[in-house]
Chain A
Amino acid sequence: MASSGPIPTFGFQALGESVHQTMTTAPPAFSSRSAVVCRGVGKVWAPGTPRVHEALRSIDLDIAPGEFVVLLGPSGCGKSTLLYLIAGLQDATAGELWSFGDRVEAPSPDRSLIFQETSLFPWLSVGQNVAFGLSIRGDTPDARRATAKEALARVGLAEAIDKRPDELSGGMRQRVAVARALAMRPKVLLMDEPFAALDVQTRAKMQDFLLDVWRASNASVLFVTHHIDEAVAVADRVVVFTSRPGRIKTVVPIDMPRPRDPFSPAAEALRRQLTGLLQDEVDRAFAEQEALPA
């Protein structure tokens, strides 16, 4: 494995999915309409070293404009990794990624990523944080402040514009991070467990507000979570991942009008279905970890 030869294919052939490897670089016709297209995407961390780790394998995923897709999967299955690839912060080691007809090669303000951990700049005020991307873009200070105010109002924090991040609660900070992403008017909003650290009640409120924001912005959302309740509450589609290497196990469409009653029989059934799917993977992951030679 430590050789400098080609990256190991990890048995793509055996799975009969080599077709994705032979894709040409010309954009396929479908991709210009999709917000995100993943074709045979794989990611191997630290290839060619003893610490090589296959995080993702042959991911095929299309996200329509304005669609709300939730990624569900056991811890360490590569959900964050997929978001990094779509954001353009990391390069895929296999397959191709497209966004609105363009290949994903570098980060773009069109695809905003909200990180799993708080990532507000502590040296900037809340307003300056929200306006960061705008000032990078070269907006005038007045325009920046107006946009920041509007984005903060959308997450219910208009009053906090002159506060410092460390004066806010964890939930408020994540809302500011959402506002910072919204201020750039992205076409794709990538959210990596943004509400993981919040209590159940606050999280429920955040989901409501996120749905409002999503409707108003027309952006596609790819939302990662561990919480089945959350997935059931917000998703158009739930993509369930297998444990490592992360692959798509099932895609569960949710065709229920919002706002959804979490106690309705349909929601109950969905939760049971998703819990079962996830439980299999968690069991498998644990079995694998126990089987590892000590």
Chain B
Amino acid sequence: MADPWGFPGTLPGIACIGPIGRTVADTQALFAAIAGMHPADPLSQDLPVADPVPVERLRIAYSPQLGLGLPLDADVRTAVAAAVSVLRQSVLSITDADPDWPPSTAEARILAIEDAGLADLFGAKWRATPELFDPHVGWQVGAGMDAGPPPALAVVYTAASTIGRVLAGLVIASVLSVTIGVATRYFLLFERLTLPTITLLAPVSPIVWLPVAIFMFGIGNKPAIFMVVVALLFHMTLSTIAQIDGVNRNFINVARTMGASKRQTYTRVIVPAILPGMLLVLRMNLFAAWMAVLIAESTGVGYGLGQVIMLARNTFNPSLVFFTIALIGVLGFSFDFALRMLQNRLLYWVPKGSEALRGL
């Protein structure tokens, strides 16, 4: 089995998992090509290859299951069994082994993606004319079509995973930025220590944080959420500070004449006074959050709508591209709508801007 991760830029549906070669000679040639250095190839490196071990000293195990619980054609099974029994006659010592493969067995997971990719590409054709397909490929296409939830549910799962990341990122970024912003104005030392860095990082595009996200969190939910947080944090912190500086002087003066301490002035006056502005900033930055999460997902940091876009690109599937674009648009709109509703509920004192303008 060739490991698709061994090649850069694996493309689902194009790269395939399968036998390396049919004869030992083929395999030997391939091995030489893979392991050997070629001066004309800029990617190839002159790495030492382990000295060949005499075959008598090799410990060889054979799993009739092939380990992965994959269905095998009877002819393949017979052929392999015959080959193994021939080898048993030779100098080689072969033991039977049937290990418990851990659920994380990488190839098994990638196979499912492979199948899905094939199903996406050839599903309709396979259903119409299965006889045109090699039975193995046909089986993979079929497995891809049967695998996973039904299409509508798959859309919901995918969208939900992306929405979850956006939400988590928004909440973390909001809490962090309000905390940092308030602390900046509250403690002069904190301002001296952090504000230059924040101001320095604010203009940096969130995309450049992608490698950092992968270094720190690998793949999965965490790096995608990190990307959302990083896309929002610096701008929102700077806006928080601007909002604090813009709080009506009279509000602060009232608090002071009423005997409020510095802490009370912050918690009772400044924080509520900046909330409406912060929610507006949040709404403005919602789009940045969506962009960041899609970038993270499309670069393989996780499944989700961004990955679907990338899959659609790699499989030349325009209808999937446009469907996903529409879905992202609708979701972004709904998010903004939800935030507006939240603003109306939570910040009941903020006048509804459009009401006064409607009469014009």
Contact = CB atoms under 8 A, between A and B. Distances in A.
B208 interface: no
Contacts of B269: 121
B264 A136 contact: yes
B348 A184 contact: no
A193 to B, nearest CB: 13
B254 to A, nearest CB: 5
Nearest to B271: A123
A166 B351 contact: yes
Interface string A5-19: 000000000000000
Given A119-B251, A119-B254, A123-B272, A108 B349 contact: no
B38 interface: no
B268 A107 contact: no
A86 to B, nearest CB: 11
Contact of B257 (A109, A117, A137): A109
Contacts of A89: 253, 256-257
B257 A87 contact: yes
A119 B259 contact: no
Interface of A: 87-89, 106-109, 111-113, 115, 117, 119, 121-123, 132-133, 136-137, 164-166, 180, 184
Contacts of B351: 166
Given A87-B257, A106-B256, 12 more contacts: A89-B253, A89-B257, A108-B257, A112-B257, A119-B250, A119-B253, A132-B268, A133-B258, A136-B268, A164-B348, A166-B349, A184-B258
Contacts of B347: 123
Nearest to A165: B349
Max chain B Cβ within 10 angstroms of own Cβ: one of A106, A108, A119, A164: A119
B280 to A, nearest CB: 15
B258 A115 contact: no
B281 interface: no
A52 B71 CA distance: 89
Interface in B225-278: 248, 250-251, 253-260, 264, 268-269, 272-273, 275
A136 B259 contact: yes
Contacts of B275: 123
Contacts of A121: 251, 254, 269, 272-273
B100 to A, nearest CB: 60
Contacts of A137: 259
A136 B260 contact: yes
B248 A107 contact: no
Interface in B94-142: none
B253 A115 contact: yes
A117 B206 CA distance: 43
A108 B250 contact: no
A133 B253 CA distance: 12
B269 to A, nearest CB: 7
Nearest to B349: A122
B204 to A, nearest CB: 35
A117 B259 contact: no
Nearest to B261: A136
Given A119-B250, A136-B264, A164-B349, A111 B258 contact: no
Given A121-B269, A136-B264, A108 B251 contact: no
A107 B259 contact: yes
B273 to A, nearest CB: 8
A133 B258 CA distance: 5
A170 to B, nearest CB: 15
A184 B256 CA distance: 13
Contacts of A108: 257, 259
A113 B253 contact: yes
14 contacts: A87-B253, A89-B253, A111-B257, A113-B253, A113-B257, A115-B254, A119-B248, A121-B251, A121-B272, A132-B258, A132-B268, A133-B258, A136-B259, A137-B259
B349 A123 contact: yes
Nearest to A166: B349
B268 to A, nearest CB: 7
B66 to A, nearest CB: 67
A180 B258 CA distance: 9
Contacts of B273: 121, 123
3 pairs of A and B residues whose beta carbons are closest in the complex: A133-B258, A119-B250, A122-B349
A4 to B, nearest CB: 22
A115 B250 contact: yes
Interface in B312-360: 347-351
B124 to A, nearest CB: 58
